Amino acid sequence: MTDDLTRLTAADLAARLTAREVSSVEATQAHLDRIAAVDGAVHAFLHVSTDEALAAARDVDSRRSVGEDLHPLAGVPIAVKDVVVTKGIPTTAGSRILEGWVPPYDATLVERLKAAGLPILGKTNMDEFAMGSSTEHSAYGQTHNPWDLERIPGGSGGGSAAAVAAFEAPLAIGTDTGGSIRQPGAVTGTVGSKPTYGGVALRAHRHGVLARPGGPRHPFRARRCVAARADRRARPPRLDLDRGALGPVGGRSAPGRSG
């Protein structure tokens, strides 16, 4: 059950949740178990929010059980890049400068994730203050590409992309000014989307997203595949990350050579 749930696309998992074939607690716990099993090698996460994620999942399950009309993705767990402010959860932007800071408020996009009922699994690693393209320059250690642990996952949002590629999360939030979502997506074999400027409400992509030199950040998400809107039957790539030291499978070369 755990392996099945962690390998579903977000759309497929959402459909199973809506059909009450599985609970959000089960789905969230499956991903937390996956994080515990593989993130020591991948290092996609800087902080895992076990209690908060399970509490959010229980709330969704309770509301669904009484027939409440929920967001289509309610109950689907998600990871959030550590440049995005989260109330009560440490936020560092990959820097020792912010070590120990626990924000007293949520970024607008986090408020909206919570309102939609997506349990937040934790905060993902990144190049310090998003200044980098390999996630080798986090003050808390580099993130590794799940296809090949000797290679980079891209950056600055390599933690979010690696979390999705390693089946630690079905979705992850990143930010992008010059490629920090799209490039890690390409390097890890996931899909990283950057919206057109203004495609996400300006308050949503500015309030609570920590600044970097060079311009505003665009928050959006990484995912394993683009689910077909008509039938939602798209499938993630067959990455057997439990075999070969989380390495590549079936003779495919791993994306993202370091250096």
**Active-site amino acid positions:** 81, 156, 180
Q: 97, 211 in Cβ contact below 8 A? A: no
Q: Hey, what are 124's tokens?
A: 């993902």
Which of 63, 69, 60 is closest to 26 using CA atoms?
A: 60
> What's the CA gap between 110 and 118, in Å, rounded?
10
List, as one string, the DSSP characters of 70-137. Answer: --TTTT--EEEETTB--TTS---TT-GGGTT---SS--HHHHHHHHHT--EEEEE--SGGG--SSS--
Question: Number of helices (H) and strands (E), helices first, in the chain?
Answer: 8, 6
> What's the CA gap between 65 and 50, in Å, rounded?
22
> What's the CA gap between 236 and 192, in Å, rounded?
14
